[in-house]
Structure 1
């Protein structure tokens, strides 16, 4: 019974649409009606400002971490903790509180890794920042980091790079998380190809995207 309860809690925790609720309560704005229409961190920054963006980012990040830690808090050791993290990401992406809409899974997936493989996350953060500097696109940075995570989860253990042993559950779930991120960015990929993706005012913008 405790397992089922924690499954539900993990999903509901992930499903809390912080950006959407903060926008409505404090700014009287519905994020679905602005920018990309997404309720995640990036659109919150662009629509509601830096302070709100930071709050939403931290909330979305830590709810993934908390979901991974929940089984330990309740001394549940019969299932891999990453399953609970995956449920939080699914809740974030397909929120029952937002008609099964949600964010693009980047921050919450990062939170899952923070709670389980922080060194692996640190590498992905480096990749994210590097790509962001070169191309000025949060979307492309997220996509590249997801691809590196997908490949790295399967390859890195063979070289004892960030991981000392092969963990099939970790590999499978990281691949699922990466797949969700890539799927949720399909519209961004089209805009990047057409060179009209949104950029941030930092970095080199090497692909010369035109939408600012």
Structure 2
């Protein structure tokens, strides 16, 4: 059922996703447009690479909040439209809002439609839809980052953790969530082609978040 509320929520979700946190933080605090350096993407990974861990962490947290907030706009649509919380219809609305936010991050109206790769915003969406799977994604990200020091590799493997955990660990009965998880894998492969090439060639930049400055 399409209503003015659901349409408005989708528009808001896109606008949330379109907030170019990496671009605005880079320009406001460093006088740099991160899209002109590194991989050329306006996301957390490139912010880590170009501006360092403080800016990278800030961008990552804010991008996660974008996805989480946009996805939870489903609560504002009204149960008469979405159905009971955790019902198939409600979760489908959450997925639609989350995907719209991710598209906003990839193609932000506030930054000339040149955005990032959407991993942090995807995680915010996952956190809103299935917190258990999200925690496993976090665990994967942290472990891989500690071992490899590659933010991109950590992001890729944590993204693949979601569909695997949904299918084999949590065994979600909602088919749209499973399908969404599979689509995440495809999106990750498409948006991280250059990162994967650099990883294979050993040319990807490393970040040590856990090293203290002396």
Normalising by the smaller structure, the TM-score range is 0.7 to 0.9
> What is the aligned partner in structure 1 of residue 179 from structure 2?
172
For 1:13, the equivalent position in structure 2 comes to: 16
Counterpart selection for 1:107 from 120, 129, 153: 120
Cα RMSD after superposing both structures: 1.9
User: Counterparts of 2:158 and 2:61 in 1: how far apart (Å)?
Assistant: 19
Aligned partners of 2:64 and 2:120 also within 8 Å: yes
Structure 2 match to 1:197: 204
Closer/same/farther in 2, CA of residues 23 and 165 from structure 1, 3 Å limit: closer
Question: TM-score, normalized by length of structure 1?
Answer: 0.84
Q: Which blocks of at least 5 consecutive residues in structure 2 are unaligned?
A: 84-88
Instruction: Map Cα deviations across residues 120-144 of structure 1 (whole Å, 9 max, x no partner).
Output: 0111111122222222211111112
**Structure-2 residue corresponding to 1:182:** 189
2:52 to 39, 49, 52: 49
Quick one: distance in 1 between partners of 2:204 and 2:51?
Answer: 20
Per the alignment, do residues 27 and 200 of structure 1 end up closer, same or farther by CA in structure 2, a change over 3 Å counting? closer
SS in 1 for 2:82: coil
Correspondence list, 1:111-122, <5 A: 111-122=124-135
* Structure 1 runs, 4 residues or longer, greater than 6 Å off: none
Unaligned runs of 5+ in 1: 204-212
Contact 1:86 1:173 in 2 (8 A): no
TM-score (norm 2): 0.84
Deviates more, 1:28-37 or 1:63-72: 28-37
3-state SS, counterpart of residue 85 of structure 1:
helix
CA distance in 1, matches of 2:184, 2:160: 10
Q: How many residues align?
A: 197
